[in-house]
Structure 1
Amino acid sequence: MPQSSDTPPHQVLYDLDVSRSDGMRIEAWRPPIDGVVEVLHARFGEHGYPMHAHDAWTVLLVDDGAVRYDLDRHERGAYGDLVTLLPPKVPHNGVSAGPHGFRKRVLYLEPALLPDRLIGASVDTPAIADSRLHRLISTVHRVLRTEEEAAAESLLALAVDSLRTHLGDPAPPAPPARDAAHDLRDLLEEHIVDGLPLTTAAAELHFAPAHLVRSFRGEFGMTPHQYLISRRVDLARRLILSGHPLPQVATNAGFYDQPHLIRHFKRILGVTPSRFTRR
């Protein structure tokens, strides 16, 4: 769900140009949403990773080519529509399985997002063949490149819930969906401008994040993020009609900046703010 209006969009931590002679390109950043340690998009030609380990869960999509890697003394492969989940602190390597390199996208997730008891299952079966999950994680990556990166929080909660299920540890039975949806809506109303992380809402309401997202969408026909954006537009139109200048409206209604406000205002109301007030 959107955070405060001064939350910076897509900040690149490092970026190596594809014009390098070895064909390598790496772009990485840490988005301002809970649970994601790092996002990595990379193209590798000749380079191969030696044995190494992370302190985060690694969710890997290979968009072009194939990767051969060793995990717990077993040779594995990542390619095509597979979702590869590597556990924290278990060493692995990685090299192109073909002569033309590979292109990949990776989410590094906080260890707490998945319980430690699932590490063994992830070592045994790191490759998940689930086209729906693959599309979901791919959408997370796409949204994280935009000013709507907060929308990825709801998608990520659903993806993590699916990963747990694939590893044989589904979430416990969910409480009534209507209660969760209405409790979350009431809480969002208290944070229209400043926003509220989904994990914070889940902790306060004592519901699992994925259950909150599913319940809210089932009850209201939209995600929590979409609801919050629509309420910000509603607030913005009141401020505009009261004579406030657009830059101030954008800030006071919780948007990143004026273009961010204009884009959502037009998407929801069909006109720009200037045409909305034109006589």
Structure 2
Amino acid sequence: MPDSPVVTSDDFEWSELKFSGWEGVSPQEAFEPELTGHLIVIHTTPQPVRVFERADGYHAEGVAMPGNINMFSAGDMSFCRWEKELSFLRLDLSTLLADKVAAELELPIGSGAVEFGRHIRLHDDRVVQIAQWLCEDLKHGGLGGKIYADSLIRMLTVHMLHRYGTVSARQAALPKALAKKQLDGALQYVHAYLEHEISLDDIAAAAHVSSSHLVRLFKEATGLPPHRYIIQERVRKAQRLLLSGLPVHEVAASLGFSDQSHFHRHFKRMLGVTPREFVVQFR
């Protein structure tokens, strides 16, 4: 595929998902004899595009509409030919992550690997929404941080396992809530490492729960998903540092914000004023 993606996760630490966004890709054929990961392709071309598709045991001609999803399991063959420019989002999900999350959810997969089957021109608003959030974060330089991307990738994986996995999820086996000791461990870890890049796995380890369960349980306990809670606490600490006389750029750098504009945006969203306006109010 000679055209280049307009957005890609290649420069980010997304080891569990490879994401790419493509616009106006010229007519051609795309063929992969054996997928190494689970593949999700979301059509985003504004107008319908006629396509010819083949997979193991399947071949047909059809019309790809905006929002249509093609989903394939690792090991499948995938072929698509189109005769007009095509736009799409491509998500390659790690088999290791899918198997790991299935085990964390205590799905009865035994020693086998997870499969999602094959779905052509599927409709799933949740998959589309999560993909759009991931795309927006990449377009903004990954401002949400690694934990934001990790949370969305886990959310996507859990949804796919529940809806398309080869085994059904046992909801009764899911933890119901974070115990106080687990929550305290998670919060203590976050506050101890506010100045550093914090991953979902790090917080989960501190809380002694799986990463797949953490996002839901953490939000139930605090009212915020982990990445939002971290930003909230960084802004709160920033207020104290600013009032102590530390310059804005040093505060932004010391609290792990990617740059000063990233810090300004979150600070103003939470407090309604810029960092400098905040300092002036208290002088």
Q: What TM-score, normalized to structure 2?
A: 0.78
Q: Secondary structure at the match of 1:210?
A: helix
Larger RCO: 1 or 2 (CA < 8 Å, sep 6+): 1
Asked whether the 8 Å contact 2:5–2:20 carries over to 1, the reply is no
**Among candidates 183, 186, 200, match of residue 184 of structure 1:** 186
Q: Which amino acid aligns with 2:248?
A: L
Residue 108 (structure 2) aligns with: none
1:114 equivalenced with 2:98 (yes/no): yes
* Equivalent-residue separation in structure 2 for 1:191 and 1:203 (angstroms): 14
Aligned residue-pair number: 253
* Equivalent-residue separation in structure 1 for 2:31 and 2:183 (angstroms): 47
* Equivalent-residue separation in structure 1 for 2:183 and 2:59 (angstroms): 45
* Equivalent-residue separation in structure 2 for 1:208 and 1:141 (angstroms): 26
1:49 equivalenced with 2:30 (yes/no): yes
* Equivalent-residue separation in structure 2 for 1:79 and 1:113 (angstroms): 29
1:160 equivalenced with 2:157 (yes/no): yes
Residues 171 and 231 (structure 1 numbering): CA distance in 2 closer, same or farther, change over 3 Å?
farther
* Equivalent-residue separation in structure 2 for 1:244 and 1:112 (angstroms): 44
Give 1:39 shift. 2.8
Which shows bigger deviation, 162-171 or 245-254?
A: 162-171
* Partner deviation per Cα, 1:178-228 (whole Å, 9 max, x = no partner): 336554333322321113211343355443333211112222221100000
Residues 226 and 25 (structure 1 numbering): CA distance in 2 closer, same or farther, change over 3 Å?
same
Residues 213 and 43 (structure 1 numbering): CA distance in 2 closer, same or farther, change over 3 Å?
same
Residues 153 and 177 (structure 1 numbering): CA distance in 2 closer, same or farther, change over 3 Å?
same
Give 1:129 shift. 2.7
Q: Secondary structure at the match of 2:20?
A: strand
Q: What TM-score, normalized to structure 1?
A: 0.79
Q: Which runs of 5+ in 1 are unaligned?
A: 1-15, 17-23
Q: Which amino acid aligns with 1:153?
A: D
Q: Which runs of 5+ in 2 are unaligned?
A: 100-111
Which shows bigger deviation, 102-111 or 199-208?
A: 199-208
Q: Which amino acid aligns with 1:60?
A: V
Q: Secondary structure at the match of 1:114?
A: helix
Give 1:63 shift. 0.8
